[in-house]
Structure 1
Amino acid sequence: MAELTQATAAEVAYSPRSVQVWRALLNWLAFFFQIFSGFLRVLGHHPLLSSSSSSSPPHDFKPLPAVELPEIEFSGTLEIAAGDHSAGDVPSAAADGCLEKFTVVLDLDETLVCAYETSSLPASLRNQATEAGLNVFELECVSSDKECEGKPKINYVTVFERPGLREFLKQVSTFADLILFTAGLEGYARPLVDIIDAENLFSHRLYRPSTTSTEYREHVKDLTCLSKDLCRTVIVDNNPFSFLLQPLNGIPCVPFYIGQPHDYQLLNVLLPLLKHLSLQKDVRPVLYEKFHMPEWFQKQGIPSSGRTS
């Protein structure tokens, strides 16, 4: 009987200690998982991509959330539910039957696609993204670097399309003039866009040489190279510094990475917003009320004199 009592006491003393050990082990596993997830996010971005996004500090601007507006059928009139837009008094196309063309300028990397150097991308990660439904393709592109013989260096890139990309481009092209504006080099971006835009929906393509250097950032996208009147022009970019010269025309979108196979920003968030903006005489009051980008730039130390409205 004494031996049984001692064994029972040992089990009671051992049980909470075992729980502590298991809890400690689980905490360590969670810690290493966070480190591994962060590693995957920054894994091997291709050097031909926009350099401005990789060198930018973490953004504290208000990007488009995962769910923003309900699905809206595009027609001659548009009713916005209370609270969707605070600039509801902006005249729409219903009040004015004749509006200038609506122009949508789209960034490429981390807005429409994410690309990685093929040699640095683990096969398991690529397989997981493919199994999750992401469209993926391989790309050969000409680098600005030279081989030892003086020949252009060929880089091999794996490109993942943001979910809904092809349908997004098709739908936006029905009510807007689509323009691609990337800080990526043409040797990389041109063959990539040839694949995602097989129907030639982009009316114009602009690459890194078309960007502008400022005292605050390089590779800034100055929209005045497209038009002097920007009341019906918007630019969608995951890096807001790209549109620091025209903050009232910018839509800061959530960046896209390989670890986000269930991202629905293009069709569920951006498309309804662009449809709404296409009916405005001037998109800038709506975008200002939504994002307050001029104030965000002031917080980054960029004064009003460094921007044009």
Structure 2
Amino acid sequence: MNQIQGPCSNLSSQKLNKKSEESCYKTLKQIGAINNLKKFGDFQSCDNLFNQTSSRKKEGDKLRKDNYSRVNAQQKFDIQLRNEIQYKDYFIGGIKDIISKEKCSQNLKQMCIDQINQIYKNVTYKDLYFNSKKQLHNIILTKKYSIAIDLDETLVHSEELKPNRRYDFQNQQFGIFIRPYCLQFLQMLNKYANLFIFTSSNIKYATTIMQILDPLKEIFQGLFFRDHCTILQDNTQVKDIKIISNDLTKIILIDNNPQCFIPQPFNGIPIIPFIDNKADKELLILYQFIEREIFSAEDVQQVIKRFFQFQQFRQFENGMQAFQILYN
């Protein structure tokens, strides 16, 4: 048998065969990979897919980063606001601030003065025999507390359309401004209380505003409007919250008009009127008060009596006299 000549002459037949098998196996793997891709177009598609995936990943990373930054900034802002807010001075502190400021509009000042006089009427009203509305029996209360909330100058301000005014919502009849933090306020309250709108406006207007504030119908359990209000002998329009629940220890009414509280003087929480102030923080302050004082109370009437001390108004001749002596 002739010996193998050339560069492979020093290799044994066994080593040569092993080397050849490894080379063939490697070649077959390469061919298999190419066959899987089949053609040049597949290389191109794969490359595009890689680029798209990479691009989407970058976009996703950027979106997550932006969301994180936004949430982080909002949290810092909320913490700063909470530190600035002193709910112990709620309402009366705001009234004092508005009345004392020269730059505040005369309209807003007069509304605050009216509120003080309405508080006086609320706690000194003598006629207890008004025509109360009957409780509606189809209302199902699923949470411990119930809160009825006014609309105009409490959650929103509406007016006839004016030129050069940028409204939060408008139609052919009117434009509205939504009070700052309104939606957050309602969403937070909704976690712990049954929420209702109770307005002295007509049903068509009230329904329109309710749909703007709660388009998915996830917040409010019901709407009470002008027909549900009670008329006193002097034609004063008030809101009897017994129409919602007879348990006055777990229900409150929030309204910028304190004389609406006359049927239940110590179930009402007043709020400074809102017109169009974008820097308004009253709903944030009010939420802190409700969260820390009302939602831990077994009897909300006792909390409201103790916090506001409006029963002291009875010893004076009118609301402004009481305000000037008690708070100045």
The TM-score bracket by the shorter chain reads: 0.5 to 0.7
> Which residue does 2:269 correspond to in 1?
251
**CA distance 1:190–1:284, change in 2 (3 Å):** same
**Which SS does the other structure have where 1:256 is aligned?**
coil
> Which residue does 2:159 correspond to in 1?
116
Counterpart check, 1:196 vs 2:228: no
Counterpart check, 1:211 vs 2:267: no
> Which residue does 1:283 correspond to in 2?
300
Q: How does 1:138-217 map to 2 (within 5 A)?
A: 138-140=170-172, 156-200=173-217, 201-217=219-235
**Which SS does the other structure have where 1:247 is aligned?**
coil
Q: CA deviation at 1:61?
A: 6.6
Structure 2 distance, partners of 1:257, 1:294, is 28
Structure 1 residue runs of 5 or longer lacking an equivalent are 1-33, 43-52, 64-98, 131-135, 141-155, 303-309
**CA distance 1:210–1:160, change in 2 (3 Å):** same
Structure 2 distance, partners of 1:300, 1:215, is 21
Report runs of 4+ in structure 1 exceeding 3 Å deviation.
34-39, 293-302
**CA distance 1:292–1:117, change in 2 (3 Å):** same
Q: CA deviation at 1:290?
A: 1.3
Larger RCO: Structure 1 or Structure 2 (Cα < 8 Å, ≥ 6 residues apart)? Answer: 1
Structure 1 distance, partners of 2:240, 2:303, is 20
**Which SS does the other structure have where 1:194 is aligned?**
helix
Structure 1 distance, partners of 2:200, 2:158, is 14
Structure 2 distance, partners of 1:297, 1:198, is 43
Counterpart check, 1:272 vs 2:328: no
Q: CA deviation at 1:244?
A: 1.1
Q: What amino acid is aligned across from residue 303 of structure 2 in structure 1?
A: V
For the 8 Å contact 2:118–2:259, the answer to whether it is kept is no
> Which residue does 2:244 correspond to in 1?
226
Structure 1 distance, partners of 2:118, 2:290, is 17
Structure 1 distance, partners of 2:316, 2:227, is 28
> Which residue does 1:151 correspond to in 2?
none
Q: Which has the higher helix share?
A: 2
Structure 2 residue runs of 5 or longer lacking an equivalent are 1-101, 120-141, 320-328
**CA distance 1:194–1:299, change in 2 (3 Å):** farther
Q: What amino acid is aligned across from residue 155 of structure 2 in structure 1?
A: L
Q: What amino acid is aligned across from residue 107 of structure 1 in structure 2?
A: D
**Which SS does the other structure have where 2:298 is aligned?**
coil
Q: What amino acid is aligned across from residue 195 of structure 1 in structure 2?
A: I
Q: CA deviation at 1:189?
A: 1.2
For the 8 Å contact 1:104–1:179, the answer to whether it is kept is yes
Q: How does 1:5-44 map to 2 (within 5 A)?
A: 37-38=105-106
- The TM-score normalised by the length of structure 1 is 0.56
> Deviations for 1:93-125, whole angstroms, at most 9, x for unmatched residues?
xxxxxx97101110000000000011xx241xx
Instruction: Calculate percent identity across the aligned residue pairs.
Output: 29
User: Pairwise CA RMSD of aligned residues?
Assistant: 3.1
Counterpart check, 1:240 vs 2:258: yes
- The TM-score normalised by the length of structure 2 is 0.53
